[in-house]
Amino acid sequence: MSGHGNTYVPKSALAKWFESRLPLVGLVHSSFVSFPVPRNLNYFWTFGAILIAMLVSQIVTGVWLAMHYDPSAANAFNSVEHIMRDVNYGWLLRYMHANGASMFFVAVYVHIFRNLYYGSYKAPREVLYILGVIIYLLMMATAFLGYTLPWGQMSFWGATVITSILGAIPVVGDTIQSLLWGGYSVGSPTLNRFFSLHYLLPFMITGVVVLHVWALHVTGQNNPAGIPIKSGKDAVAFTPYATIKDVFAAVVFFAFFAYWIFYQPNYLGHADNYVPANPAVTPAHIVPEWYFLPFYAILRAVPDKLGGVILMFSAVLILALAPWLDTSRVRSCNYRPIYRQFFFLFVVVCILLGWLGAKPPEGGYVIAARLCTAYYFLHFLLVMPLVGLFETPKALPGSILETVTGPGKQVGGSGMPVGAAAAPSSKG
């Protein structure tokens, strides 16, 4: 995609004819075949490919579900039951789609924490990273809209609670709410437009993913050492090395995905959503899906409605500032002994926030949620800038090859473009 040298040479006359009119095969070849990949990548780097597989899976199952689903308040719930009971393999399509959303978020969280640990957000990958944050935001919107569609109790009340959040915006809040509802409360017009938008957003995600991959191919991949490729020996060709590894990891991930579909298809959902929507009764315990729980905990940690809303949105948006908040020049936490510990503390705080988001907002849980919320923001606003200034990083290796073969040795595979089979993928 970007000047890594187009090594594709069309052989047949037809291929030559086509390539001189639209160099598509050359583009794919330079991006996904001859593209140089750092030879020290570990399995955390396979989640980008896994995420693309999940996006495709969600779009395909979603398009098929839409063939049987009826987005009206009167029929939505029954049409979902119709999919489950009457449509051939409808249960499979629906369980793939519902659990697929959870798996999508599992993969995106691994991808995000991998990024934060290895400092992939730093220069020159800021735009690549911000595109990723935009994809994450679009994913959250899509997941929320999709959860509304079965029109069960959790769908209805989740939609009510989240649209009420927008009502907290001063001055224009009520107007936004009314335009979103298409009425005076959450109802059939709301469900119709949510379905329309739920169908639209995945294609917007696809568009941003194209930009994300493009940006990745401009800067090249980061790697566990956090140092750039300096010579051909630091790299291997995308195909077959990264391709095979990505496919292998995706197969393992899909085995994990299949476990949920076939053995625990409803574990990640809520039983209340099998009760049809009832605007007169709120379920005893309104809890969002697990992937929103940390943000829900932040929302509830603040006793003020507008304040809680602002803090919750800030918790996502602050991610986009990481490239400028982190003052360290060293990317990988492997070489940052102090920040590394703060990073793991941050991971623990995020998991704790998720746990607290599922608990009732009382007593000790509220206090714990406030402490965790405070650390969440301090990590970005205080720890990232200050540790970068005061920390003495460990000595960086001379090259990526050195991290694989040991310092000083200059043997061990010839790297690009041939050989390099010796690169052990577990290093990092």
Partner 1 sequence: MANTAADPDSTHGAPDGTRRDFMFLATGAGLAVGAGALAWPFVASMAPDAETIAAGAPLEVDLSPIQEGQIVNVFWRGKLIFVRSRSEKEIKEAAAVPLSDLIDPQPDAARVKDGHAKWLVVYGNCTHLGCVPIGHQGQYEGWSCPCHGSLYDTSGRVRRGPAPANLPIPPYLFESETKIRIGEEGGKAVA
Q: Which of 74, 172, 183, 251 binds partner 1 (CB under 8 A)?
A: 183
Site map for partner 1, 133-162, x if CB under 8 A?
Answer: ------------------------x--xx-
Could you tell me how many residues of this chain bind partner 1 (CB under 8 A)? 34
The residue (of 26 and 308) whose beta carbon lies closer to partner 1 is: 308
The residue (of 281 and 418) whose beta carbon lies closer to partner 1 is: 281
Cβ-contact 372, 349 below 8 angstroms: yes
The residue (of 333 and 353) whose beta carbon lies closer to partner 1 is: 353
Q: Is 72 in the site for partner 1 (CB under 8 A)?
A: no
Q: Is 380 in the site for partner 1 (CB under 8 A)?
A: no
Task: State the minimum distance, in angstroms, from the CB of residue 316 to partner 1.
Answer: 18
The residue (of 194 and 343) whose beta carbon lies closer to partner 1 is: 194
Q: Which of 280, 389, 395, 411 binds partner 1 (CB under 8 A)?
A: 280
Stretch that binds partner 1, among 37-45, 252-260, 303-311, 368-376 (CB under 8 A): 303-311
Q: Which of 16, 230, 305, 394 binds partner 1 (CB under 8 A)?
A: 305
Q: Is 124 in the site for partner 1 (CB under 8 A)?
A: no
The residue (of 219 and 282) whose beta carbon lies closer to partner 1 is: 282
Task: State the minimum distance, in angstroms, from the CB of residue 160 to partner 1.
Answer: 4
The residue (of 338 and 358) whose beta carbon lies closer to partner 1 is: 358
Stretch that binds partner 1, among 81-89, 120-128, 251-259, 301-309 (CB under 8 A): 301-309
Q: Which of 87, 143, 165, 209 binds partner 1 (CB under 8 A)?
A: 165
State the SS3 of the chain.
CCCCCCCCCCCCHHHHHHHCCCCHHHHHHHHHCCCEEECCCCHHHHHHHHHHHHHHHHHHHHHHHHCCCCCCCCCHHHHHHHHHHCCCCHHHHHHHHHHHHHHHHHHHHHHHHHHHHCCCCCCCCHHHHHHHHHHHHHHHHHHHHHHHCCCEHHHHHHHHHHHHHHHCCCCCHHHHHHHHHCCCCCCHHHHHHHHHHHHHHHHHHHHHHHHHHHHHHHHCCCCCCCCCCCCHHHEEEHHHHHHHHHHHHHHHHHHHHHHHHHHCCCCCCCHHHHCECCCCCCCCCCCCCHHHHHHHHHHHHCCCHHHHHHHHHHHHHHHHHHHHHCCCCCCCHHHCHHHHHHHHHHHHHHHHHHHHHCCCCCHHHHHHHHHHHHHHHHHHHHHHHHHHHHCCCCCCCCCHHHHHHCCCCCCCCCCCCCCCCCCCCCCC
Q: Which of residues 197-226 bind partner 1 (CB under 8 A)?
A: none
Q: Is 303 in the site for partner 1 (CB under 8 A)?
A: yes
The residue (of 38 and 283) whose beta carbon lies closer to partner 1 is: 283
Q: Which of 83, 180, 229, 372 binds partner 1 (CB under 8 A)?
A: 180
The residue (of 186 and 209) whose beta carbon lies closer to partner 1 is: 186
Q: Is 329 in the site for partner 1 (CB under 8 A)?
A: no
Q: Is 192 in the site for partner 1 (CB under 8 A)?
A: no
Assess whether the previous peptide bond of 417 is cis (omega < 30° from 0): yes
328 vs 137: CA distance, rounded Å: 27
Assess whether the previous peptide bond of 407 is cis (omega < 30° from 0): no
The residue (of 193 and 340) whose beta carbon lies closer to partner 1 is: 193
Footprint on this chain of partner 1 (rule: CB under 8 A) = 157, 160-161, 163-165, 178-187, 189, 193, 279-286, 300, 303-305, 308, 360-362
